[in-house]
Amino acid sequence: MIRNLLILAFTSLISVMAVAQTTSWPAPNRPITFINPFPPGGAVDAFGRPLAKQLSVQLNDSIVVDNRGGAGGTVGAAAAAKMTPDGYTWLLGAVHHSIAPSMYQNLSYDITKDFEPIAIIGSVPHVIVVNPTKFPKNDLKSIIEEIRKHPGKYNYASTGNGTSQHLTGELFKIQNKLFITHIPYRGTGPALQDLVAGQVDMMFDTLAGAAPFIKSGQLIAVAVASNQRSPAFPNVPTAQELGISNFVVSSWYAMWAIKGTPKEIVDKMSAEVQIALASPEIKERWAGMGASVPKMTRSELNTFINQEIIRWSEVVKKSGAKLD
């Protein structure tokens, strides 16, 4: 009898503590940390830092973006998975997290089991860009025909092995049965610089990365890999318009909670993120990057991430893509 009463009292105490924790979140003077598993200055920072700034105003609390780059985002994600799920640590990330399970062996975390998706915070379509002097004609149909006539003659740059730019190129090769040599670089900057200089022939970059070079005329945008034309470049057709079906690829950026974070905190952060993404400041900034925010529920986002993992695993398997 006494033992049962003690168990009941202890259970009630735990429940009260949990309620107190969630109703007081975020606690005054206790900063929130967003772990960005990529180096400073990259695309995840471009979305994550403005979002953190907006959320800090809404939540009346400081938010620190902690960059923990390494191994394609897997080092920072592994560190985040070990954090206490109390609502004071969250993971920022990108499409790379759906590629990593196929490219990295023995990951110490599972993006689908150790985290709970909160929202896609931005999405940027990929675009096929070419150096203006490399092909006889700079329309997609002519480029594909030229590559078919001369297998192995042409190449494409990427931001590195296992990146979305790399696998987008491999997907393009698979769908069109082409032989194009992959030239990996260490980052977007060096790859684009060599493409502009004519050291490589083409690239499957994000629209945000290639936009300045398209605007300046240094690169030609052949097609965007999206369902609709980009408002930023309305004269650039989609690949689907040009006869390539299912070539729809975007670099998406997302936010996750650590698995086990109290539901009330997850719900509150999720709602605040949606408010932040709808703010004029964020919308204007995202438009400048050619980015959109797909409308998805958390359940739909979870399904989407699982579909992306399957999709990229098939591309990795068919292409034989490796890190080295």
Fold agreement (2-123+252-319, 125-224): yes
In the CATH hierarchy, which fold is given to the domain comprising 125-224? D-Maltodextrin-Binding Protein; domain 2 (3.40.190)
* The pLDDT of residue 261 is above 90: yes
Q: What are the structure tokens assigned to 73, written together?
A: 């985002």
Q: Does the pLDDT at position 72 exceed 90?
A: no
Architecture of the structural domain at 2-123+252-319: 3-Layer(aba) Sandwich (3.40)
User: Is the pLDDT reported for residue 252 higher than 70?
Assistant: yes
Determine the Cα angle at 141 with ends 136 and 143, to 5°: 35
Task: Tell me what percent of the residues of the chain surpass a pLDDT of 90.
Answer: 82
Is residue 306 pLDDT above 70, yes or no? yes
pTM: 0.87
Q: Extract the tokens encoding 106.
A: 């023995």
Q: Is the pLDDT of residue 305 over 90?
A: yes
Signed CA dihedral, 92, 96, 97, 103: sign only: negative
Domain ranges of the chain: 2-123+252-319, 125-224
Q: What is the pLDDT of residue 187?
A: 84
φ, ψ dihedrals at 106, nearest 5°: 60, 45
